A and B are shown apart, each in its own frame.
Chain A
Amino acid sequence: AQTVTQSQPEMSVQEAETVTLSCTYDTSESDYYLFWYKQPPSRQMILVIRQEAYKQQNATENRFSVNFQKAAKSFSLKISDSQLGDAAMYFCAYRSAFNTGRRALTFGSGTRLQVQP
């Protein structure tokens, strides 16, 4: 079974600064997807960024980028130029790429990000 671990329950960053959220995972599968989701106080899950395991290039979405280290099974999220609206709970998630594999997402325990003005 796959597991996802987020070792930082809470993080804090100053507005306009950069912060990195950590995530490690364990799997025996060779192909999979990794995600970072944001959950603001409204509780609506919002996809921040996605990475396909077969792609070596790290995904980027505007101020959000990942550092994907497949051999180390590490998938960290970097938020640049942090904004007050970035304050939320962030979840790292895993999904098998195989149709016979688990199709639901497996989530980490989450990291609460605070942004200080």
Chain B
Amino acid sequence: GAVVSQHPSRVICKSGTSVKIECRSLDFQATTMFWYRQFPKQSLMLMATSNEGSKATYEQGVEKDKFLINHASLTLSTLTVTSAHPEDSSFYICSAPLAGAPYEQYFGPGTRLTVT
């Protein structure tokens, strides 16, 4: 099946700094990618939809100036957490649907962000 990678898998940063997380579709093109956040022992909550060539669409309550999304190419979307705070510590997961098969959605392995 199709593969989605995320980098880094784990990152620790100091409060007030920014951190970038990359999501790549390795063997298919993804015009759309989704970013989810998962707090411990909780479900995946959609943060935003990343669209290649246009602005991301954010879910209600998600600060677009804090969580910057850039869909630079058909295989890469980045999520930058700006001025990170301890409450941003979470597990971030991206996914990408397969064009022409909307029910096929592939998940990255996730990135664990810890803000100290």
Binding site for B on A (CB under 8 A): 33, 35, 42-45, 50, 52, 91, 95, 97, 99, 103-110
B43, A103: Cβ atoms under 8 Å? no
B34, A43: Cβ atoms under 8 Å? no
Residues of B within 8 A of A44 (CB): 107, 109-110
A108, B102: Cβ atoms under 8 Å? no
Residues of B within 8 A of A91 (CB): 43-44
A52 with B97, Cβ < 8 A, contacts A91-B43, A109-B42, A109-B43 known: no
Q: What are the nearest 9 A-B pairs in CB distance?
A: A45-B107, A33-B103, A104-B34, A107-B43, A104-B46, A43-B110, A107-B44, A109-B43, A44-B109
Residues of A within 8 A of B93 (CB): 43, 45
Residues of B within 8 A of A109 (CB): 42-43
Chain B nearest CB, measured from A75 CB (Å): 14
- Answer yes or no: B105 CB below 8 A from chain A CBs: yes
B44, A95: Cβ atoms under 8 Å? no
Q: Which of B49, B93, B103 has its CB near the most chain A CB atoms (within 10 A)?
A: B103
Size of the B side of the interface (Cβ < 8 Å), in residues, is: 19
Residues of B within 8 A of A99 (CB): 102
Residues of A within 8 A of B97 (CB): 103
CA A116 – CA B49 in complex, angstroms? 39
CA A44 – CA B95 in complex, angstroms? 11
The digit string for B40-63, where 1 denotes a CB below 8 A from any CB of A, is 001111100100000000000000
- Answer yes or no: B91 CB below 8 A from chain A CBs: yes
Known contacts A43-B91, A43-B109, then 19 further A-B pairs from the complex at CB < 8 Å, ordered by chain A residue: A33-B102, A35-B103, A43-B38, A44-B110, A45-B95, A45-B107, A91-B43, A95-B103, A95-B105, A97-B102, A103-B32, A104-B46, A105-B34, A105-B46, A105-B105, A107-B44, A109-B42, A110-B42, A110-B43
